[in-house]
Amino acid sequence: MGHLVEGKNIVIMGVASERSIAWGITSSLHKAGANLIFTYRQERSYKKLTKLLEKHDIEAQLVVSCDVASDESITSAFNTIKDEIGTIHGVVHSVAFANRDELQGEYADTSRDGFLLAQEISAYSLVAVTKAAKELMTEGGSIVTQTYLGAERVIQNYNVMGVAKASLEASVRYLAEDMGKYGIRVNAVSAGPIRTLSAKGVSGFNEKMGVIEEKAPLRKNVDQDQVGDATLFFMSELSRGITGEVLHVDSGYHIIG
Ligand code: NDP
């Protein structure tokens, strides 16, 4: 991957463990020469992240707390990044949340609060983060979020999160239009199922992975590194003509009827 993002300052949001998709992305971006800035929500994630960085000999430029449920927290995180780093060139948005009990059974049972929570953390957060990041992207930039096929089709148990991902993907398109004039691109990677802490919350997750092995053109599941490399592509100049796109990194599963 050489020096695809050499010297670029990129903010990564959403490392909670070694299995996090954001950690696969960290690995790809680090190998390609990026300067990395991290945000975390829970103290537990901060500790995990610090240990991981140490273990893999990766030096973070900065690690700041950011709870996307709060406008103040987002403003404060990006203000700190502005003060400490200055210009940034990329943001990796890899955060989502829904109540576990709404990731099973019927979507029709979704509560008002549960619906709003999933939308707020998993979709609106991209809007708020894009607005804050834009101020620091004085040389243009790239914003990449993580979505899933449940946005496009009914996937059993994905329910309220599928609807939040549909909203996220539509936001990618509207934000791409807004940000284009500032030289900022906004895209999404739609990954196949990967075993992470969040994935544990979705009922019947193991079966979903089994279906990919059986039916996807490539007959195997994807991993964090594949998503990392696709995200690297979006962060690099190789994708300079692409915005508002949802790129499937799913062994081709989405083309199968
Ligand atoms: P992880 O659990 O590893 O990561 C989820 C991250 O979201 C955590 O770091 C968590 O931080 C963060 N988060 C949750 N709520 C907030 C909040 N209010 N403010 C800031 N951060 C928050 O799971 P994944 O790596 O699987 O998830 C990353 C993204 O990838 C999500 O958008 C997910 O929907 C998407 N995705 C996952 C797939 C999969 O199969 N795993 C497939 C396709 C897409 P903390 O723990 O500190 O709260």
Written in H, E and C, the secondary structure of 100-156 is HHHCCCCHHHCCHHHHHHHHHHHHHHHHHHHHHHHCCCECEEEEEEEECHHHCCCCC
Candidate from 95, 152, 222 with most ligand 1 atoms within 8 A of CB, to mutate: 95
**Which pLDDT score is estimated for 205?**
87
Instruction: Give tens-digit pLDDT for 134-156.
Output: 999 999 999 999 999 999 999 99
Catalytically annotated residue among 46, 148, 182, 253: 148
Q: How far is the CA of 93 from the centre of ligand 1 (A)?
A: 9
Q: How far is the CA of 150 from the centre of ligand 1 (A)?
A: 15
In terms of C-beta distances under 8 Å and separation of at least 24 residues, what long-range contacts does 60-67 make, across chains too? 60/36, 61/9, 61/35, 61/36, 61/37, 61/85, 62/37, 62/38, 63/37, 63/38, 63/39, 64/37, 64/38, 64/39, 65/39, 65/40, 65/41, 66/13, 66/39, 66/40, 66/41, 67/41
CATH topology classification for 9-248:
Rossmann fold (3.40.50)
Give the number of the atom of ligand 1 that is nearest the alpha carbon of residue 95: 7
Contact 141, 89 (CB under 8 A): yes
- ipTM over cut 0.95: yes
Residue ranges in the chain modelled with pLDDT below 50: none
Please work out whether the CB of residue 121 comes within 6 Å of at least one atom of ligand 1: yes
Q: How far is the CA of 237 from the centre of ligand 1 (A)?
A: 26
pTM exceeding 0.95:
yes
Contact 121, 170 (CB under 8 A): no
**Which pLDDT score is estimated for 63?**
98
- DSSP letter, residue 61: S
**Which pLDDT score is estimated for 202?**
87
**Which pLDDT score is estimated for 52?**
98
Integer Cα distance of 184 and 179 in angstroms: 5
Candidate from 63, 64, 65, 94 with most ligand 1 atoms within 8 A of CB, to mutate: 94
- DSSP letter, residue 173: H
Measured from the Cβ of residue 234, the count of other Cβ atoms closer than 10 Å reads: 23
Please work out whether the CB of residue 194 comes within 6 Å of at least one atom of ligand 1: yes
Instruction: Give tens-digit pLDDT for 23-56.
Output: 999 999 999 999 999 999 999 999 999 999 999 9
- 124 flagged as catalytic: no
Measured from the Cβ of residue 83, the count of other Cβ atoms closer than 10 Å reads: 9
**Which pLDDT score is estimated for 72?**
98
**Which pLDDT score is estimated for 203?**
87
Integer Cα distance of 212 and 251 in angstroms: 8
Integer Cα distance of 173 and 160 in angstroms: 21
**Which pLDDT score is estimated for 178?**
98
